Structure 1
């Protein structure tokens, strides 16, 4: 058991890990807090952090060889306290009380952290602010946490431990310092971003996008929608697609059962090919392109064949072919131009172009897709409105004297 000497300070009746320096900077040579390794210590951290208006949270994990992210550390900062929790020593389910509280959870690039928390704690934060998303609304392009520290605080984050093995014990002090630095000033960064977003009238936009991220995370990754992540299956129709959906569902459930990445079970190409050929024997299965025999080991190959026998004669639900709108051939040349204008328009407005509209968003908008992301919320004014003017013929995209693309009122005069 990893056990090192601990230092505490008393706050009210709770015993909390000794905070870092009063100026909240983790300086070279200063000691990071010792990891929390007992239920009593974790309960004290949860109780105190849950009383804060906001708390910063980060995790260290590996998932290269597993289906679920394997958590190695959880870091939390609130007020002037910071705690590092060692999940190898103490279960982190009690964090659910913090996550479901009223405090705002501040994370950076939160998507995988949210998945991890859902798996380990059975819940996710009720409210989040993702600093990567927030920074995108003041002009940063998918910034790293290190970039925000450098640009907003003028400090460099430790980098030595970035590619380290987080499951080694005991963790050397440089790795603990690296982990602590990820959350130590995250609330300060959040405050700067909130202030800047308010000044620009974009705080609601950022909050809307963070809520959308949380909504997607709450929907979760289910076996029933696994086929949507397989391009080869999305392109299929009729019974072949119904079979491929079933195989994708089997792959997802089996990968979760044995806790291995889905592509270590069967490749995406293998999912489609197996559904099309429906092999009956091991030799037939192993001859299929996209099937790696070394992945289908320890009985997985037999289980897959049994599953194929089960669905071979089943009356599977076949979705009718959707009459999705197609892009008018006359508009295809405009896609590149409008996408370039949207990116430039976003950059000039100090918005991350990836947040505003991707090429797929522009195509969906031109196709008239009612579910297009560009039609929702704040994007409607930034993108959908101007593009509609183009479609109506009341505006045109042109180059100005500096060679920049601009949207201007159309004169209607032919050249």
Structure 2
């Protein structure tokens, strides 16, 4: 369906509900949703670019028989009873992994879910954002004007609330339409495996050395300057936490990197730097220069290593020189996995994460049988449908790799293709980044 044929979705069909802001209203909403049946559409709005952390500032629900609810989790911070009322329901979310952590903070955790974004990926749809999916699958146009708004604002403007309510207005209908397509494509079982894996995933551990996520860190070339970045990052994080502000609003990453490159020797020298001339930076100048001075005073043995510790293989660009056999295995396996993904109209990263394939190619099982490769993939969290599609082809690639320059297009394997909740890993090295509450990406 084209954009010209889509119908603008402007108002919730039942009108805009009042925001739930007290215990009595919360109890009424819980009773209504407990008495209803069928899947429940769930969404959450955060203020990550404005506030510290990733907590929810509005939670939207919709269920047949209950209508829609907009809940203020700041006014009603404990929604354990709502989570219990919906314990047996399938939750329908879009890009579920983005919202599950903030929902868990208020006591809401699904036992079963349907992720419409992941369903779109499994179906090989070209655009899987909520707006494009609703448009292409259902023929309605959603307005996305407030997705990056400061949802910690109180009171929330009516047009923001309308936008939030419309985000769950058609989520159940979208789920039903995508399920029909998954059945027709023979991919519903894959989707169920993926959804179960997302629902069962443990809470992500904080990233070690979160300061290494500082934008522009690649410009910092020695350990002493890295120590400046680290000290400033933690000084900023502490202040951001105290003020409940996004770290980037307290001190931009660019200011951290410039201080590390310049290494000012006094507070006056630091205040002369363009990135520290603003009123807010001057007000905290003693804090920022103190961090620089602390880094200067560290003994060499306490300086951070130039590169982050990592238990995986080196970047693939170095393999040809260091381990040409591994480079050949990776090239051959990549070609086969890519062919399988294309044959089943799936993003290759949803079929098998690049990190899993790299690790397997660097240190393959001996001998590289399909069973051994399957067990290796299973240990890395691959789902059974992914293993069934890829293990034999990867084992063949490991057993008979072509030289990297020759491995361009192996024959596709049979079977279904991917859909995993894994994020695409396009970088050459390192595990996929996990954003810490205080990191300013």
Q: Please classify the TM superposition score into its range, dividing by the shorter chain length.
A: 0.5 to 0.7
| Alpha-carbon distance, 1:108 to partner | 0.6
| Contact 1:150–1:156 (8 Å) recurs in 2 | yes
Q: Partner of 1:306 in structure 2?
A: 290
> In the alignment, is the contact (CA less than 8 A) between 2:42 and 2:60 conserved in 1?
yes
Q: Which residue of 1 aligns with 2:340?
A: 345
Question: Hey, what does 2:67 align to over in structure 1?
Answer: 82
Shift in Å, 1:111:
4.0
Calculate the TM-score normalised by the size of structure 2.
0.65
1:367-378 equivalences in 2 (<5 Å): 367-368=362-363, 375-378=380-383
Q: Deviations over 1:72-114 (max 9, x none)?
A: 64321123322332539x7131323323662443211234433
8 Å CA contact retained: 2:229, 2:256: yes
Compute the displacement of 1:392 (Å): 1.8
Kindly state the Cα deviation for residue 145 of structure 1 after the two structures are TM-superposed: 1.6
- SS of the residue aligned with 1:58? strand
Q: Alpha-carbon deviation of 1:59?
A: 2.8
Cα deviation, 1:157-177, whole Å, max 9, x if unaligned, reads 3327556967586845x6555
Note the aligned Cα RMSD (angstroms).
Answer: 4.7
Give the superposition deviation at 1:182.
1.8
* Deviation sequence 1:112-151 (CA, Å, 0-9, x none): 43354456x3765565432212332232356022333234
Residue in structure 2 matched with residue 55 of structure 1 by the alignment: 40
SS of the counterpart of 1:83?
strand
**Conserved? CA contact 1:141–1:352, under 8 Å:** no
Partner-residue secondary structure (3-state), 2:92: strand
SS of match in other structure, 2:141? coil
1:252 aligns with 2:237: yes
Question: Within 1, Cα distance between the matches of 2:69 and 2:272?
Answer: 49
2:207 is equivalent to residue 202 of structure 1: no
Q: Please give the residue correspondences for 1:6-85 in structure 2 after superposition, counting only pairs within 5 Å.
A: 30-39=13-22, 40-50=24-34, 54-68=39-53, 73-85=58-70
- The alpha-carbon deviation at position 44 of structure 1 amounts to 1.4
Equivalent pair of 1:54/1:106 in contact (CA under 8 Å): yes
How far apart, in 1, do the equivalents of 2:273 and 2:329 lie? 41
| Partner-residue secondary structure (3-state), 2:78 | helix
- Inter-CA distance 273–335: structure 2 relative to 1 (3 Å threshold): farther
Distance 2:10 2:248 in 1: 42
Superposed displacement of residue 344, structure 1: 4.5
Determine helix, strand or coil for the equivalent of 1:179.
Answer: helix
CA distance in 2, matches of 1:228, 1:360: 19
CA separation of 1:36 and 1:260: change in aligned 2, threshold 3 A:
closer
Partner of residue 386 from structure 1, selected from 393, 401, 412: 393
1:244, 1:276 within 8 Å by CA — same for their partners in 2?
no
User: 1:317-360 CA distances to partner (integer Å, 9 max, x unpaired)?
Assistant: 86796675334214658867865654443132132334234666
Which residue does the alignment assign to 1:134?
119
Deviation at 1:377, TM superposition (A): 1.7
Distance 1:257 1:169 in 2: 23
- Which TM-score applies when normalising by structure 1? 0.68
Q: CA distance change for structure 1 residues 247 and 406 in 2, over 3 Å: closer, same or farther?
A: same
Match of 2:410 in 1: 406
State the Cα distance separating 1:45 from its structure 2 match: 0.9
CA distance in 2, matches of 1:126, 1:299: 48
Residues 47 and 338 (structure 1 numbering): CA distance in 2 closer, same or farther, change over 3 Å?
Answer: same
SS in 2 for 1:93: coil
Unaligned regions of 5+ residues in structure 1, if any?
1-25, 410-415
SS at match of 1:406: coil
Whether the 8 Å CA contact 1:55–1:106 is kept in 2: the answer is yes
Q: Following the alignment from structure 2 to structure 1, what is the Cα–Cα distance between the partners of residues 228 and 53? A: 26
Which structure 2 residue ranges, 5 or more long, are not aligned?
1-8, 366-375, 414-441
**What is the aligned residue count?**
372
Which one of the candidate residues 92, 96, 100 is aligned to 1:106? 92
Matches within 5 A, 1:217-256: 218-219=203-204, 225-230=209-214, 241=226, 244-256=229-241
8 Å Cα contact 2:12/2:165 also seen in 1:
no
Matching residue of 2:368: none
Say which SS state the counterpart of residue 67 (structure 1) adopts.
coil
The structural deviation recorded for 1:156 is 0.2
1:294 counterpart residue number: 278
Question: Residues of 2 paired with 1:373 and 1:288: CA distance?
Answer: 52
C-alpha spacing 1:392/1:345, structure 2 compared with 1 (3 Å): same
